[in-house]
């Protein structure tokens, strides 16, 4: 997911207030773009999410045997 990738790799808070402000603006831009992408493709994305949900016993917790593979939030 683009937002999670951004959070894990690109968003690096700093002690500098200028950098924190810049990171916050970048983070906000990414979230807004991700939201817009979802809204523009909502029907297709929701269909995929429904299939994932149904294929994992009607839960958003995705696991294989006893090992957690992912968690959709």
pLDDT, tens digit, 9 for 90 and up, residues 38-55: 899 999 988 988 888 888
Whether residue 49 lies inside any domain: the answer is: yes
Whether residue 12 lies inside any domain: the answer is: no
d(CA 18, CA 27): 14
The DSSP call for residue 10 is I
Whether residue 3 lies inside any domain: the answer is: no
d(CA 27, CA 57): 33
Tokens of 55: 């294929």
Adjacent-strand bridge partners of 64: 67
Query: What φ, ψ does residue 3 adopt, rounded to 5°?
Result: -70, -45
Closest CA to 27 of 57, 47, 4: 4
Reported pTM: 0.48
Whether residue 27 lies inside any domain: the answer is: yes
Range of 47's domain? 17-71
Tens digit of each residue's pLDDT (9 = 90 or more) over 5-35:
555 555 555 545 555 556 667 777 888 888 8
Whether residue 22 lies inside any domain: the answer is: yes
Whether residue 4 lies inside any domain: the answer is: no
Whether residue 29 lies inside any domain: the answer is: yes
């Amino acid at each position: 997911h683009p937002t999670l990738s951004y959070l894990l790799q690109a968003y690096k808070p700093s002690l500098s207030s200028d950098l924190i402000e810049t990171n916050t603006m970048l983070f906000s831009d990414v979230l807004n773009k991700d939201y817009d992408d979802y809204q523009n493709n909502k029907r297709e994305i929701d269909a995929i999410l429904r299939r994932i949900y149904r294929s994992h016993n009607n839960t958003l917790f995705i696991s294989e045997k006893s090992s957690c593979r992912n968690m959709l939030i």
